[in-house]
């Protein structure tokens, strides 16, 4: 087994996490903002380039590792969570980040995302959701809304989109968050929380594709509407929002959903990031309801999967085990 690595905090700046490679996303792509936030997060948490690994699949987002001055592995379409699982299995001491888009992680790689979350592998999974296939030139994706016109759906898409966060919650994920590419103040904090969470963390980052799906999220990300169209959830804080901070979320009459009510009449609902049911209700909010942003669920298990696997194996390990003796065990005879 690899020796435990030094976990000394590195004193590096965000710039130290930039590589010498030219960043080749389209001008104005939301990925630039995410890259910046990730590099800041790495500096904030004192990440060591030597013990940090970025694993990605295929797609625009998956170019990410080339731009982060750590270990990086640009793998194949959809398989990043599976490769990352192997990395953690071999060396649980590494900090492993997984980066991919909605096509990569929810379509071709949906199965691996599902099982990484189910097993609770200690991975920080960043899902860049732009509701479109960018690198293959604009086809609709599993998160595209019904009616999306694209080269493959000229009359509009028919498939219903999936909610990445509700899917993750259904699978049993224990850290589920949503962030927005342009929110540079909030994003590093959410990423840091994902990193602190021991176990699988899924952060859906709403990301604008300026070329193929521009303004897809304008209804809740435009400066002029965002205060009324988003609710920022903070553990232990009331679920209130609005330009005037005058609206609150409350449980609907039948108890199964959330409704908007004016602040002042009745106690506001308090966010509890360990409440899976509340997280599910928040994750499901779509315009015209306010879109929930922040850490919806952060309820760590006692241990993460790879540590449990290693612990079980360690109990069976015999440093003095002799393969020759094992091969000679059982029914033998001498000629």
Partner 1 sequence: MALARPDESDERRLTKRAARETAVVRFAGDSGDGMQLTGAHFTLATAVSGSDLATFPDFPAEIRAPVGTTYGVSAFQINFGARRIKTIGDRPDVLVALNPAALKVNLDDLADGAILLLDSGAFSERNLKKAGYVSDPRADGSLDRLRVVEMDMSALTKEALAGTGLTSREQLRCKNFFALGVVLWMFDRSRQPTIDWLKKKFADRPELAEANIMALDAGHTVAETAELQRMPAFEVGPAPMPQGLYRTVTGHEALSFGLVDGALKAGLPLVFCSYPITPASTLLHDLARLKQFDVTTFQAEDEIAAVAAAIGAAYAGSLGVTSSSGPGIALKGEAIGLAVATELPLVIVNSQRAGPSTGMPTKTEQSDLYQAVFGRNGDTPVVVLAARSPADCFEVAREAVRLAVHHMTPVILLTDGFLANASEPWLVPDIDAVPDFPVRFATADSGPFRPFERDARGVRPWARPGTPGLHHRIGGIEKQAGTGNISYDPANHQAMTDARWNKVLAVADEIPEQTVDQGDDEGALAIVGWGSTHGAISRAVTTQRARGHAVSHVHLRHIWPLPRNLGALLRRFDHVLVPEMNKGQLVTILRSEYLIDAKGLSKVTGKPFTIAELEDRIEAVLSPTLVMEKSA
Positions that interact with partner 1 (CB under 8 A): 1-2, 5, 19, 21, 48-53, 55, 58, 65-66, 69-76, 79, 82-91, 93-94, 111-112, 114-115, 309-310, 313, 316-318, 321, 323-324, 326-328, 330-335
Cα 100 from Cα 17, distance rounded (Å)? 19
> What number of other Cβ atoms are within 10 A of residue 56's Cβ?
28
Instruction: State the first-to-last Cα distance of the chain, in angstroms, to the nearest integer.
Output: 39
Helix axes 164-171, 110-119, angle to 10 degrees: 40
Cα 21 from Cα 44, distance rounded (Å)? 23
Q: What is the gyration radius of the CA atoms in the chain, in angstroms?
A: 22
Write out the H or E segment, with its range, that includes residue 176.
strand 175-180
Smallest gap, in angstroms, from Cβ of residue 76 to partner 1? 5
Smallest gap, in angstroms, from Cβ of residue 92 to partner 1? 10
Contact 271, 233 (CB under 8 A): yes
Smallest gap, in angstroms, from Cβ of residue 233 to partner 1? 31
**Burial label, 223 (beta-carbon count in 10 A; 0-12, 13-18, 19+):** exposed
- Strand pairing class (175-180; 291-298): antiparallel
Smallest gap, in angstroms, from Cβ of residue 32 to partner 1? 18
Smallest gap, in angstroms, from Cβ of residue 66 to partner 1? 5
Nearer to partner 1, 88 or 178 (CB): 88
Smallest gap, in angstroms, from Cβ of residue 56 to partner 1? 8
Smallest gap, in angstroms, from Cβ of residue 283 to partner 1? 23
Write out the H or E segment, with its range, that includes residue 314.
helix 305-316
Contact 187, 37 (CB under 8 A): yes
- Strand pairing class (291-298; 258-262): unpaired
């Amino acid at each position: 087994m690899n020796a435990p690595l030094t976990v000394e905090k590195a004193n590096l700046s965000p710039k130290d996490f930039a590589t010498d490679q030219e960043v080749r996303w389209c001008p104005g792509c939301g990925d630039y903002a995410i890259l910046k936030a990730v590099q800041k997060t790495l500096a904030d948490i004192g990440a060591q380039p030597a013990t940090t690994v970025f694993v990605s699949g295929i797609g625009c987002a998956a170019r990410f590792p080339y731009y982060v001055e750590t270990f990086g592995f640009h793998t194949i379409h959809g398989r990043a969570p599976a490769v990352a699982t192997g990395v953690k299995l071999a060396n649980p001491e590494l900090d492993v980040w997984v980066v991919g888009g909605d096509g990569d992680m929810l379509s071709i790689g949906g199965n691996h995302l599902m099982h990484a979350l189910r097993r609770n592998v200690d991975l920080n999974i960043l899902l860049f959701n732009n509701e479109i296939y960018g690198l293959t030139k604009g086809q609709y994706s599993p998160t595209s809304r019904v009616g999306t016109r694209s080269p493959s759906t000229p009359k509009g898409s028919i498939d219903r989109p999936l909610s990445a966060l509700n899917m993750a919650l259904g699978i049993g994920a224990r850290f589920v968050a949503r962030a927005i590419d342009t929110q540079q103040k909030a994003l590093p904090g959410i990423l840091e929380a994902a990193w602190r969470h021991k176990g699988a963390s899924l952060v859906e980052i709403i990301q604008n594709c300026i070329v193929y799906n521009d303004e897809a999220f304008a209804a809740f990300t435009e400066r002029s509407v965002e205060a009324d169209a988003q609710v920022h959830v903070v553990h232990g804080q009331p679920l209130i929002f609005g330009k005037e901070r005058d609206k609150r979320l409350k449980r609907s009459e039948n108890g199964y959903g959330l409704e908007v009510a004016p602040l002042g009449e009745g106690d506001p609902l308090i966010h509890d990031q360990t409440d899976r049911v509340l997280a599910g209700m928040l994750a499901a909010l779509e315009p015209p309801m306010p879109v929930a942003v922040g850490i919806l669920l952060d309820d760590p298990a006692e241990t993460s999967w790879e540590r449990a696997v290693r612990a079980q194996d360690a109990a069976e390990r015999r440093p003095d085990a002799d393969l020759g003796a094992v091969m000679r065990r059982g029914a033998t005879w001498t000629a």
